[in-house]
A and B are shown apart, each in its own frame.
Chain A
Amino acid sequence: MALKLPIFMDSHSTTPVDPRVLEAMLPYFTERFGHPGSRNHPFGWEAEKAVDEARAKIARLIGARDPKEVVFTSGGTESDNLALKGAAEMYREKGTHIVTTAIEHRAVLDVARRLEKQGFAVTYVPVGHDGLVDPEAIRGAITDKTILISVMFANNEIGTLQPIAEIGKVAKERGVLFHTDATQAVGKVPVDVEAMGIDLLTCSAHKIYGPKGIGALYVRRKNPRVRIAPIIDGGGHERGARSGTVPVPLAVGFGTAAEICREGMPEEAARLARLRDALQDKILSSVDEVYLNGHPEKRLPHNLNVSFAYVEGESVLMGVNKEVAISSGSACTSATLEPSYVIAALGVDPELAHSSIRFGLHRFNTEEEVEYVGGRIVEVVIRLREMSPLYELAKEGVDIKSMRWKAE
């Protein structure tokens, strides 16, 4: 079969809707259009039933005991906002300290910064060279004022999987609530809120082959019963946790996507890991001075993040952007014009953040695509290195780090 270009390999940003998901959603746009809050007619009953079935499927995917623990939101960002702001407001009397990490998604970090302005203290625990957070460092950061720990399940750039169960244990021992942004992990690797001691969990539909515009926040109802203040007020939907009409077609899509992920997870994870490893082998065996970012084993099966020394990331993307969709931690590709703070937090040389490239494989990628992408990346990197003054200096034996560079 001929390869269809461009090839999408940026699944940490989003994923295509699975055709089975779309099929399940369609009737809820037209004939089954009711409002799930309409209690007195069949249109409402049908919609409510569909939403609750979806809720149950998501609950099952994350090991929640009770579907009522799943609160629908507009997406991962809103779920993170609701978890942090909601817990901060609810437990303010108890304490004003939050523990998180340096590599969280902006939806957590920026909320933390806002809470700092409102009088909260936040500790940003650093990560090791491999991107892992030490649960003992989390323990060490807890004070008698700490009300919440927020540590992401899997990082969106380097895919590193954090020791969530161990952090959950620390949280339980110290009587602190534990939130995890599991947007990248849910549906991809086993997640179990009971076994891992998670009190609040963020997830999103469009990262798991569901539609954009819907996410969920898991809020534990037992041992302990977690309470959060809403950030959106109104009709009191979602048991008062999140007002606003639940978008029924999106919820149905989210539920179906969750079910498909749960049923196929072991096979899909193994297949994607095999493809990812093939891509990694191709790249590492074809060019020198390529560095893997993040933990080599404890990472998402579909993630690959590498830095090609002496080559700037955006120039690599430009070399393939008609054929391959990938992303970079380079400053030139970010909205803030700063290089990736995640790669920087690993303690690698700053220029390697500019040189980082992220691949995110997905359900519909094929072996042929992986082969093609690997080949093209290698070609482009070799071409750009021939154009790189840094590569030339390095080949001449000059120590680039010891040179005096005049920054702009």
Chain B
Amino acid sequence: MAYSDKVIDHYNNPRNVGSFPKGTPGVGTGLVGAPECGDVMKLQIKVNLESGLIEDAKFKTFGCGSAIASSSLATEWLKGKSVEEALKIKNTDIVNELKLPPVKIHCSVLAEDAIKAALRDFQEQWAAKQAAATPSVTS
């Protein structure tokens, strides 16, 4: 199979590989896929708690070149977006950008799942924090 130039570029020069140190404030983590399926993506976002914008993103992926490229591209796209904007990233955007063939569409689906899981993780942490910080009015 021939890979598109963009897939090859992301594979050879993956953007934002890595992990944030545990306990970094504003970080949301998504871990999706399964080893026995041959694809696992870990995607992290770091939200600036004052501006509400995603100021950094990192990934690690176990999977084929297209899976690596999909998650690498996702981290690029996430940076600078608000959580609401980030939720609008669709797997089809990734397919179009990387020119993924039909057999590789699942890689883009997994990347979208990873984005959503990271955003959800951040939102849940944020909600828990708000709840802990705000005195309950009903008590």
Contacts and interface: CB of A to CB of B under 8 A. Distances in A.
Nearest to A319: B11
Given A318-B11, A330-B38, A350-B36, A312 B62 contact: yes
B35 interface: yes
B110 interface: yes
Contacts of B63: 312, 315
A147 B14 CA distance: 57
Contact of A408 (B11, B39, B65): B39
Interface in B36-61: 36-42, 60-61
A408 B41 CA distance: 12
B64 A312 contact: yes
Please tell me the size bucket of the interface on A: 20 to 34
A387 B39 contact: no
Contacts of B68: 315, 387
Interface string A303-346: 00000001110110011000000000011100001010000000
A326 to B, nearest CB: 15
Contacts of B42: 389, 392
Looking at chain B's contact residues, the main secondary structure is: mixed
A38 B33 CA distance: 63
A406 interface: yes
Contacts of A390: 35, 40, 62
A57 interface: no
Contacts of B67: 312, 315
A407 interface: yes
Report which residue of A314, A389, A392, A408 has the largest number of chain B beta carbons within 10 angstroms of its beta carbon: A389
A287 interface: no
Contacts of A319: 11
Contact of A315 (B11, B36, B60, B106): B11
Given A389-B61, A405-B33, A312 B14 contact: no
Given A389-B31, A406-B34, A315 B65 contact: yes
Contacts of A391: 62
Contacts of A350: 35-36
A319 B41 CA distance: 19
Interface of B: 3, 11, 14, 17, 19, 31-42, 60-68, 103, 106, 109-110, 113
Interface of A: 310-312, 314-315, 318-319, 330-332, 337, 339, 349-351, 354, 386-392, 400, 405-408
6 pairs of A and B residues whose beta carbons are closest in the complex: A405-B34, A354-B38, A350-B36, A389-B42, A351-B35, A314-B64
5 contacts: A318-B65, A339-B38, A350-B35, A389-B42, A408-B33
